[in-house]
Amino acid sequence: MSSSSDTVSISSPLEDYLETIYLLVQEHGFARVRDIAGARRVKAATVSVALRKLAEGKLVDYQRREYIGLTSKGERAARRILARHRLLTRFFAEILKMPREAAAEQACTLEHALTDEAMDRIVRFFEFLGRCPSVIEAFQRCPVAAGADEPGLSAAASTCASCAVRNDVKLMTLSDVEPGQSVVVTQVASGGALRQRLLDMGMLPDTVVDLERTGLGGDPLWVRCQGARLALRRSEASTILVRRKA
């Protein structure tokens, strides 16, 4: 795993358990041993062993035969690995045109080894495509990309009309959004540790973010992103470029 300041050093199987618990809580409001065992397709005893290890690391609140909850530390770690999973799944499915199930399986394999730098590079690639989608359209029209023997581009691929249309989209920052509005992330314009923290929170290109409310004086901003309710300082939100939902 990478060396981000929020990174929790645990094994890949335990990261999978954190991700599963997080998704169960998001979907049902709770997670139990039998629910986790069903989702992971393992025996309840195996789940119990993993939960004890996660509890020792202060990542879950766990008592035998009780509901399992993530600590704030565990939730951050779960969101971090889930963000990587969704980013890689999207890359394999949308860019490389792998079947969705195969893309998700490949993402599961690689998400644990994806460094902060590698994640940042993939996100920047998606941010670039958001400004110039004709590049990927040309790639996907190319017989080489499809695995054909005869390389070459179609005539349509040489045009950039879609870029001109997309560039007419007006961007704003998340700090400019009014409570009750939904927007779509196009770019995280900050750098360093702040950028990585926002990416780990799930602020990825084309992700829908709902601004629920703001605190007194306009700070912080309470948003919902990928099922999680998050608080952002206005200065942080001002680095997140967004567009209105179509």
According to the model, what pLDDT value does residue 144 have?
A: 52
Residues 79-90, mean pLDDT to the nearest whole number: 96
Q: Which backbone phi and psi does 190 adopt, to 5 degrees? A: -85, 175
Cβ proximity of 95 and 130 under 8 Å:
no
pLDDT-derived band at 1 (thresholds 50, 70, 90) equals very low
Residues 37-57, mean pLDDT to the nearest whole number: 94
Q: Which domains does the chain have, with CATH numbers?
A: 1-112 (1.10.10.10), 115-168 (no CATH), 172-244 (2.30.30.90)
What is the rounded CA–CA span in Å between residue 201 and residue 79? 6
pLDDT-derived band at 167 (thresholds 50, 70, 90) equals low
Task: Evaluate if residue 148 carries a pLDDT over 60.
Answer: no
According to the model, what pLDDT value does residue 158 have?
A: 38
According to the model, what pLDDT value does residue 7 have?
A: 55
189 membership: H or E segment, kind and range: none
194 membership: H or E segment, kind and range: helix 192-200
Three-state secondary-structure class, residue 92: helix
According to the model, what pLDDT value does residue 162 have?
A: 45
Give the pLDDT confidence of 101-122 residue by residue, as tens digits.
Answer: 999 999 999 999 999 999 999 9
According to the model, what pLDDT value does residue 151 have?
A: 37
Sign, Cα dihedral of 44, 49, 51, 52:
positive
According to the model, what pLDDT value does residue 211 have?
A: 96
What is the rounded CA–CA span in Å between residue 156 and residue 180? 40
Residues 60-87, mean pLDDT to the nearest whole number: 90
Name the residue among 5, 27, 45 with its Cα closest to residue 82. 27
Cβ proximity of 138 and 160 under 8 Å:
no
For the question of whether the overall pTM of this predicted structure is more than 0.85, the answer is no
Q: Which residues pair with 213 in a beta bridge?
A: 222
What is the rounded CA–CA span in Å between residue 225 and residue 222? 10
